Amino acid sequence: MDELAQEILNLVKIKMIEQAAFDRDAYNDLIEETIQDFRTNGKMTDDDNDEFIVAELMDIWEEVEEEMAEHRKNI
């Protein structure tokens, strides 16, 4: 995973915890939201492949879900 995708993933995990949003749809929505924020703030440009990044992050959903299981228990 490249540095940009890793940064997006880290922020998505933080948002998931803050919003107690732990399902796949919320994960996908937060990825899209974070990419949009990165575009707005100039961290991403048209040269960045959004579709590839989203696909890459969605491919690791099961790992993220397992990691977030602990946070769900603490709510």
pLDDT tens across the length of the chain (75 residues): 899 999 999 999 999 999 999 999 999 999 999 999 999 999 999 899 999 999 999 999 999 999 999 888 776
pTM over 0.85: yes
Question: Which pLDDT value is given to residue 23?
Answer: 95
Report the pLDDT value the prediction gives residue 47, as an integer from 0 to 100.
92
The pLDDT of residue 35:
97
Euclidean distance between CA atoms 39 and 7, whole angstroms: 13
Residues 6+ apart with CB under 8 A from 26: 16, 19
- The pLDDT value recorded for residue 70 is 83
